[in-house]
A and B are shown apart, each in its own frame.
Chain A
Amino acid sequence: MIQFHNVYKSYPSGHDALDGVSFRLSKGEMAFLTGHSGAGKSTFLKLISLIERPSKGQILFENVNLKSVSKRKIAYHRRKIGMIFQNNLLLDNRSVFDNVALPLEVSGYRTIEVKKRAQAALDKVGLLHYRRKLPSELSSGEQQRVGIARAISTKPNVILADEPTGNLDPELSSSIMHLFEQFNQVGVTVLIASHDLNLINTMPYRKVVLDQGRIASNQAPLTNE
Chain B
Amino acid sequence: MAKRAWTKQAVANDLGISSSKANRKQAHKHRISFLAPLTQVAKHNWRAFYQTLLGQIRKPFSTLLISGIIGIAMALPCGLYLLVINLQAIEDQWPHEPQLTLFTHKKVSYFEAQNLAKKINNLPGVKSIKVLSPGSAMEEYRHIVGLGKNELLPEQKLLPSILIIAFDSQSIKPDMIKRVKEKIEHLGQTESVHLDQTAVEKLYKLIEIGERSILVIGTIFAVGVLLIVGGTIRLEIQSKHNEILVIKLIGGTNAYVRRPFLYSGFWHGIFGGLLAWLLTLTAVMFLSNPVADFAQLSNKIFNLVTLDMQSTGILIGSSALLGLLGSWFSVGRHLAKVEP
Residues of A within 8 A of B (CB): 28, 49, 51, 72, 75-79, 83, 85, 89-91, 93, 102-103, 105-109, 113, 120, 123-124, 129, 150, 152, 155, 157, 182-183, 185-188
Known: A102-B246, A109-B32, A187-B18. A182 touches B6 (CB 8 A): yes
Give the residues in chain A near B18, CB-CB below 8 Å: 186-187
CA distance A150 to B44 in the complex (A): 20
- Residues of B within 8 Å of A103, CB to CB, are 250-251
- B-chain residues with CB within 8 Å of residue A108 when the two chains form the complex: 32, 36-37, 39-41, 43-44
Q: Which of B1-44 contact A (CB under 8 A)?
A: 1, 4, 6, 8, 11-12, 14-19, 27, 30, 32, 36-37, 39-41, 43-44
- B17–A155 CB distance below 8 A: yes
Residues of B within 8 A of A78 (CB): 248-251
A106 touches B30 (CB 8 A): no
Q: Is the CB of A102 within 8 A of B247?
A: yes
Which residue in A76, A85, A129 is a CB contact (below 8 Å) of B251?
Answer: A76
Which residue in chain A gives the minimum CB-CB distance to B339? A51
- Max chain A C-beta neighbours (<10 A), residue from B1, B4, B247: B247
Which of A28, A107, A186: most chain B Cβ within 10 A?
A: A186
Is B245 located at the chain interface by the 8 A CB criterion?
A: yes
In the assembly, what is the distance between CA of A85 and CA of B39, in Å? Answer: 31
Q: Does B340 contact A (CB under 8 A)?
A: yes
For the complex with contacts A78-B249, A79-B250, 18 further pairs of A-B residues with Cβ separation under 8 Å are: A51-B339, A51-B340, A75-B253, A75-B256, A78-B251, A83-B250, A89-B245, A89-B246, A106-B256, A108-B37, A108-B39, A108-B40, A123-B14, A182-B6, A186-B15, A186-B18, A187-B12, A188-B17
Interface SS majority for chain B:
helix
Pairwise interchain contact B11-A182, C-beta atoms closer than 8 A? yes
Residues in B whose Cβ lies below 8 Å from that of A129: 1
**Minimum C-beta distance from A60 to chain B (A):** 20
- State how many angstroms separate the Cβ of A145 from the closest Cβ of chain B: 15
Establish whether residues B16 and A91, one from each chain, have CB atoms under 8 Å apart when the complex forms: no
Q: Contacts A106-B256, A108-B32, A186-B11: A155 and B250 contacting too (C-beta < 8 A)?
A: no
Q: Is B109 an interface residue (CB 8 A)?
A: no
Binding site for A on B (CB under 8 A): 1, 4, 6, 8, 11-12, 14-19, 27, 30, 32, 36-37, 39-41, 43-44, 242-243, 245-254, 256, 339-340
Residue in A113, A150, A187 with the greatest tally of chain B CB atoms within 10 Å = A187
Q: How far apart are the CA atoms of A61 and B121 in the complex, in Å?
A: 100
Distance from B3 Cβ to chain A, minimum over Cβ atoms (Å)? 8
* Docked complex Cα distance between A113 and B32 (Å): 10
Cβ A106 vs Cβ B32 within 8 A? no
Q: Which residues of B contact A106 (CB under 8 A)?
A: 247, 250-252, 256
Contacts of A89 in B (CB 8 A): 242, 245-246, 249
CA A185 – CA B10 in complex, angstroms? 11
Closest to A189 in B: B17
Q: What are 12 A-to-B residue pairs whose CB atoms are below 8 Å?
A: A51-B249, A72-B254, A83-B249, A83-B250, A91-B246, A106-B252, A107-B32, A108-B41, A155-B16, A186-B17, A186-B18, A188-B15
A157 and B17 contact, CB distance less than 8 A:
yes
Specify which chain A residues have a CB less than 8 angstroms from the CB of B250 in the assembled complex.
78-79, 83, 102-103, 106, 150
When A89-B242, A113-B30, A185-B11 are in contact, do A75 and B17 touch as well, CB less than 8 Å? no
Complex contact B254–A75 (CB within 8 A): yes
Nearest-neighbor residue (CB-CB) of B30 within chain A: A113
Closest to A104 in B: B250
Cβ-closest chain B residue relative to A73:
B253
Bound CA–CA A93/B55 (angstroms): 13
Q: Which residue of A lies closest to B247 (CB)?
A: A106
Give Cα A42 to B251, complex, Å.
19
Complex CA distance for A165 and B12, rounded to whole angstroms: 24
Q: Return chain A residues, CB-CB under 8 Å to B15.
A: 124, 152, 155, 183, 186, 188
Kindly state the separation between the CA atoms of A129 and B1 in the bound complex, as whole angstroms.
11
Interface centre among B30, B37, B43, B251 (most CB of A within 10 A): B251
A49 to B251, CA, bound (A): 10
CB-defined contacts of A183 to chain B, threshold 8 Å: 11, 15
Expressed in whole angstroms, the minimum distance between the Cβ of A206 and any Cβ of chain B is 19
Contact A75 B242 (CB under 8 A): no
Nearest Cβ on chain B to A94's Cβ, whole angstroms = 9
Give the docked Cα–Cα distance between A51 and B254 (Å): 14
Chain B residues contacting A75 (CB-CB under 8 Å) are 248, 251-254, 256
In the assembled complex, the CB of B129 is this many whole angstroms from the nearest CB of chain A, namely 81
Determine if B242 and A107 form an interchain contact, defined as CB atoms under 8 angstroms apart.
no
A49 to B249, CA, bound (A): 8
Task: Please determine whether A186 and B246 come into contact, CB atoms closer than 8 angstroms.
Answer: no
User: A117 to chain B: closest CB distance in Å?
Assistant: 8
